[in-house]
């Protein structure tokens, strides 16, 4: 079998590394890979903060394009808050005694918080789980993309979705007779707190999204715990109506303190210590979950 020598074969003669005994290397104990921590081996690439924002922005843009191209998903995300407002206001509300005797006024701040949690947790967990199951994540990870920016982009785009949901809830709230009685500054603070609280939980959701097997599991496992988590709080009923053994938890649940703060600020009263507790929970959850999520993404 002779072949006319071509440029290709001529070139190869020098690029062949002769290794006559390939077995010998497998028996030699090679230098073990140093178990350097994630920080040591995964420094973010150079380029500084501007490139970090660029990376996160590109990721967020990608997610928003996905969202725009699946309008049905966005619709479902908006139907749930509207449904909850209407069902609790008109079906269950009549049987629930609240201070002030106006259930609509009591309910809406609670629904704001609950639905923002459901939206950002479900959205982020499913989004992250979906990304992890796709080959494009390998491409991102083989590129000089900031590790934290990939997840930050996801949480940013979920914030945009939360914004739309909150606007819809405000409109429906006004239609069912909710009165925004607070002063402008506390009311602005109330909405800022609402977004920050949801954003902090989207980092917890990112952790869930990476821990589960896929988007379907993320949908189920990511939101199931939110039912007890949000129901055992002051969202729908006064905590004082709960049995004694449940009350200590319900009174100190992060959901309760945030809902109480929103109620006070939107209704024109003083939130008291609930405001500071809300802030502490929000900052605490974000500062614990965000680094954990990024570390997990790096090592995945």
Partner 1 sequence: MPDAIAVEALHKRYGDVQALDGLDLTVEQGAVMGLLGPNGAGKTTVVRILATLLRPDSGSVRVCGVDALREPERVRPLIGLTGQYAAVDEKLTGFENLRMLARLARRGRTESRDRADELLAEFGLADAAGRLVRTYSGGMRRRLDLAAGLIARPEVIFLDEPTTGLDPRSRTAIWKVVADLSAAGTTVLLTTQYLEEADRLAHTVVVVDHGTVIGRGTPQELKDRVGGERLEVRLQDAGQYERAERVIRGVVGDGPCSHDDEGRISVAVAGGAMLMPELARELHAAQVVVADLAVRRPTLDDAFFALTEPGEGSISGADPAPAPPEAEHVTAVTAGRTDQR
Tell me which residues touch partner 1 (CB under 8 A). 1, 3, 8-9, 11-23, 25-34, 36, 41-45, 47, 51, 54-55, 58, 61-62, 65-66, 69-70, 134-136, 138-145
d(CA 26, CA 3): 35
Cβ 142 to partner 1 shortest distance, Å: 4
Question: How many Cβ atoms sit within 10 Å of the Cβ of residue 102?
Answer: 14
Q: Are 282 and 200 in contact (CB under 8 A)?
A: yes
CB closer to partner 1 out of 150 and 262: 150
Q: What is the DSSP letter of 108?
A: H
- Rounded to a whole number of angstroms, the CA Rg of the chain reads 26
184-211 helix and 273-299 helix, angle to the nearest 10 degrees:
30
CB closer to partner 1 out of 48 and 244: 48
CB closer to partner 1 out of 51 and 195: 51
Cβ 294 to partner 1 shortest distance, Å: 14
Cβ 46 to partner 1 shortest distance, Å: 8
Cβ 1 to partner 1 shortest distance, Å: 4
Q: What residues contact residue 261 under an 8 Å CB cut-off, 6+ apart?
A: 190, 193, 271, 274, 275, 278
CB closer to partner 1 out of 2 and 243: 2
CB closer to partner 1 out of 66 and 252: 66
Cβ 72 to partner 1 shortest distance, Å: 13
Cβ 155 to partner 1 shortest distance, Å: 18
CB closer to partner 1 out of 67 and 274: 67
Q: And the tokens for 93?
A: 């509300």
d(CA 238, CA 101): 12
Cβ 40 to partner 1 shortest distance, Å: 8
196-234 residues labelled b (16+ CB within 10 A) or e (exposed): bbbbbbbbbbbbbbbbbeebebbbebbbeebeebbebbb
- Can you list the alpha helix ranges (DSSP code H) found in 133-272? 135-141, 147-175, 184-211, 215-224, 226-231, 247-252, 254-267
CB closer to partner 1 out of 102 and 130: 130
């Amino acid at each position: 079998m002779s072949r006319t020598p071509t440029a290709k074969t001529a070139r190869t003669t020098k690029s062949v590394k002769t290794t006559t005994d390939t077995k010998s290397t497998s028996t030699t104990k090679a230098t073990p890979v140093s178990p350097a921590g994630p920080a040591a081996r995964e420094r973010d690439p150079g380029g500084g903060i501007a490139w970090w924002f660029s990376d996160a922005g590109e990721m967020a843009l990608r997610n928003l394009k996905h969202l725009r191209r699946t309008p049905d998903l966005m619709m479902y995300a908006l139907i749930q808050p509207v449904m909850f407002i209407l069902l609790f206001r008109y079906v269950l509300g009549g049987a629930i005694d609240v201070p002030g005797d106006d259930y609509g006024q009591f309910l809406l701040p609670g629904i704001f918080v609950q639905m923002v949690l459901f939206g950002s947790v479900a959205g982020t967990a499913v989004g992250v789980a979906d990304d992890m199951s796709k080959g494009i994540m390998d491409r991102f990870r083989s590129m000089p993309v900031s590790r934290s920016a990939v997840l930050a982009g996801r949480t940013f785009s979920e914030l945009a979705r939360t914004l739309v949901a909150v606007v819809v809830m405000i409109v429906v709230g006004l239609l069912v007779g909710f009165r925004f009685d607070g002063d402008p500054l506390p009311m602005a603070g109330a909405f800022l707190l609402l977004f920050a609280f949801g954003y902090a939980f989207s980092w917890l959701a990112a952790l869930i999204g990476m821990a589960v097997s896929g988007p379907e599991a993320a949908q189920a496992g990511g939101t199931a715990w939110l039912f007890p988590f949000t129901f055992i709080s002051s969202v729908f009923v006064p905590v004082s109506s709960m049995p004694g053994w449940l009350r200590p938890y319900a009174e100190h649940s992060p959901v309760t303190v945030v809902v109480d703060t929103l109620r006070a600020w939107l209704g024109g009263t003083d939130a008291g210590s609930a405001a500071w507790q809300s802030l502490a929970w929000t900052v605490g959850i974000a500062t614990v979950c965000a680094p954990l999520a990024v570390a997990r993404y790096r090592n995945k």
